[in-house]
Amino acid sequence: MSTAAPVAQATGITKRFGSTVALHDAHITVEPGDTHALVGRNGAGKSTLVSVLTGLQAPDEGTVTFDGRPAPRLADRDAWRRRVACVYQKSTIIPQLTVAENLFLNRHTRNKGLISWPALRRQAREVLAAWSVDVDAGTVAADLSVEQRQFVEIARALSFGARFIILDEPTAQLDAAAITRLFGRIKELQQQGVTFLFISHHLQEVYEICDTVTVFRDARHILTAPVAQTPQAELVAAMTGEAAAARPDAGPRPTRPSEPALSVTALCAGDRYQDVSFTVGGGEIVGLAGAASSGRTEVAETVAGLRAADSGEVQVAGTTPRPGSVPAALSAGVGFVPQDRHRQGYIPEMSVADNSTLTIPDRLGRSGFLNHRRRDALAAAQIAELQIRASGPGQHVSGLSGGNQQKVVMARALASDPRLLVLINPTAGVDVRSKEFLLGTVEQTAAAGTGVLIASDELDDLRGCDRVVVMFAGRVVTEMARGWHDHALVAAMEGVGGGIDA
């Protein structure tokens, strides 16, 4: 065991937001060279701890040290940047600027007060090369993939001198191949002496790359232990405070043939997808699987009216909504959970009640007036039903934890009693237990006759589907019946052995 001081240590941390206690006397110790996982259910206090560890928020009580020394003053941002950096769910990269500008923002090389652009670009190239980030310094950040953006953020942190990097759900938006590359990079950097704190709801990722795991529950520290000595059931029990329940297996689902809720015919859109056809029956749950580049998300977005196809047809419950119109899709009976909940999912400055009932103003009052009591009652019921952790219907969604924001988006999709539910990565950022619960709600909705399309590459999202349509490189390559084997589906999503049905 090393005798060096911990890279980072937080002790006795308490943080309140109004009546919410986000952290209660919590602590964590991160040892040098360790890759340390922080896990817990939605709202457990993980991201709040990150904001305290990165100096974005002062705790109400408690202390933070780095390498055994007290943390800098909050105002001294540069001093914090030399010690720690976090790659967030939401990017801190400015999309309109180039990679070089993002890397050297706030520390331009100045020559008598003027920015030296050639010097800036040269330094950016050096930083990217030093950390083997294969991105052109002149690229505008908006054109980067999520994966490239994360690598640039990591390189930026390292170039400030930080050797402690926090990753808050870095894999939520990456596909399998990108996750493999990210993990490869983490392992390389770990060998070069970089220490990581890694937050994820995918416990298999914790087992794959972490040495130590800390569990938070209800704002408190529950345990810290070597990953290798902590079986998954024990981890889940620590997270939920109950003995692990057996996972319901994918048994048969009652099937009733009925009118198609969705039929997609010969849909084409440039180089994104070609000749896509499939149907979803009323009461049926159909998965649309594929890697990030497969076109699955674009097809789902086309069905939801977020984009239009060049040719082909989308029919919802027998009608043909105007292509490329979200309101048209909505009035045809589509409920929708979008890919990027931060940009398309909710309005952060509005309350949980307003957000979750956004799509159904007509059910809340006559002649354009909202009945606020009815709205709040409906929202309160949804909060209870989806186990949304909020102080009440009036809380702003911006004050919810990431996973709970996702549940609000789901509540909104369900609120309109849709004929067809279109879900893109519906459980991204949602904790293990809430995930089962959310998918259970989807099954209930289907049992009531709604057709469901789940576009995802998460095996857990797809397991409960009656059928899974698999796309690769813009085309439907195969369809698998319920009860498929993981490796068969993964292979089909990677374009290997396509056409072989399970």
**Which residues are near ligand ATP by CB under 6 A?**
17, 20, 22, 40, 42-48, 389, 399-404, 431
Q: Which is nearer to Mg ion, 47 or 395 (CB)?
A: 47
Beta strands in 76-130 (DSSP E): 85-87, 110-111, 114-115
Phi, psi of 334 (to 5 degrees): -95, 125
Beta strands in 88-148 (DSSP E): 110-111, 114-115
DSSP string, 398-455: GGS-HHHHHHHHHHHHHHT--SEEEEESTTTT--HHHHHHHHHHHHHHHHTT-EEEEE
C-alpha–C-alpha distance, residues 7 and 311, integer Å: 56
Work out the angle at residue 154's Cα, subtended by the Cα atoms of residues 149 and 157, and round it to the nearest 5 degrees.
125
CA torsion sign, 46 to 51 to 57 to 61? positive
Residue 214 contacts which entry, ligand ATP, Mg ion, none (Cβ below 5-8 A, type-dependent): none
Q: Which is nearer to ligand ATP, 248 or 392 (CB)?
A: 392
Question: Binding to Mg ion (CB under 5 A): which residues in 385-414?
Answer: 401-402
CB of 135 to ligand ATP, least distance (A): 28
CB of 20 to ligand ATP, least distance (A): 5
CB of 168 to Mg ion, least distance (A): 6
Phi, psi of 136 (to 5 degrees): -75, 130
CB of 268 to ligand ATP, least distance (A): 38
Residue 48 contacts which entry, Mg ion, ligand ATP, none (Cβ below 5-8 A, type-dependent): ligand ATP
Q: Residue 99: beta bridge partners?
A: none
CB of 436 to ligand ATP, least distance (A): 15
Q: Which is nearer to ligand ATP, 95 or 348 (CB)?
A: 348
Q: Which is nearer to ligand ATP, 88 or 151 (CB)?
A: 88
Residue 45 contacts which entry, ligand ATP, Mg ion, none (Cβ below 5-8 A, type-dependent): ligand ATP
CB of 402 to ligand ATP, least distance (A): 3
Binding segment for Mg ion (CB under 5 A), chosen from 7-15, 45-53, 67-75, 407-415, is: 45-53
Q: Which is nearer to ligand ATP, 64 or 493 (CB)?
A: 64
Give how far Cα 480 sits from Cα of 279, 465, 470, Å.
14, 10, 8
Residue 43 contacts which entry, Mg ion, ligand ATP, none (Cβ below 5-8 A, type-dependent): ligand ATP
If binding is defined by CB under 5 A, does position 240 make contact with Mg ion? no
Give the tokens for residue 13.
Answer: 């941390």
Half-sphere exposure at residue 459, Cβ-oriented, CA atoms within 13 angstroms: 16
Q: Which SS3 state, helix, strand or coil, does residue 9 take? A: strand
Q: Which is nearer to ligand ATP, 82 or 220 (CB)?
A: 220
| Other Cβ atoms within 10 Å of 28 Cβ, number | 22
Query: Rg for the chain (alpha carbons), in Å?
Result: 24
Q: Which is nearer to ligand ATP, 219 or 285 (CB)?
A: 219
Interface residue with Mg ion, options 39, 43, 45, 47 (CB under 5 A): 47
Q: Which is nearer to Mg ion, 274 or 405 (CB)?
A: 405
Residue 305 contacts which entry, Mg ion, ligand ATP, none (Cβ below 5-8 A, type-dependent): none
CB of 47 to ligand ATP, least distance (A): 3
Q: Which is nearer to ligand ATP, 25 or 479 (CB)?
A: 25
CB of 404 to ligand ATP, least distance (A): 6
Binding segment for Mg ion (CB under 5 A), chosen from 46-54, 223-231, 316-324, 332-340, is: 46-54
C-alpha 83: how far from its chain's center? Answer: 26
Q: Which is nearer to Mg ion, 170 or 402 (CB)?
A: 402
| Residues constituting the chain | 502
CB of 391 to ligand ATP, least distance (A): 7
Residue 109 contacts which entry, Mg ion, ligand ATP, none (Cβ below 5-8 A, type-dependent): none
C-alpha–C-alpha distance, residues 456 and 300, integer Å: 10
DSSP string, 334-353: EEEE-S-IIIII--TTSBHH
Determine contact, residues 395/351, Cβ cutoff 8 Å. yes
Work out the angle at residue 388's Cα, subtended by the Cα atoms of residues 380 and 225, and round it to the nearest 5 degrees.
155
Q: Total residues at the site for Mg ion (CB under 5 A)?
A: 3
Give how far Cα 383 sits from Cα of 102, 204, 355, 360, Å.
39, 29, 12, 16
Residue 205 contacts which entry, ligand ATP, Mg ion, none (Cβ below 5-8 A, type-dependent): none
C-alpha–C-alpha distance, residues 426 and 300, integer Å: 12
Give how far Cα 169 sits from Cα of 145, 430, 462, Å.
16, 10, 21
CB of 429 to ligand ATP, least distance (A): 6
Residues lying near Mg ion in the complex (CB under 5 A):
47, 401-402
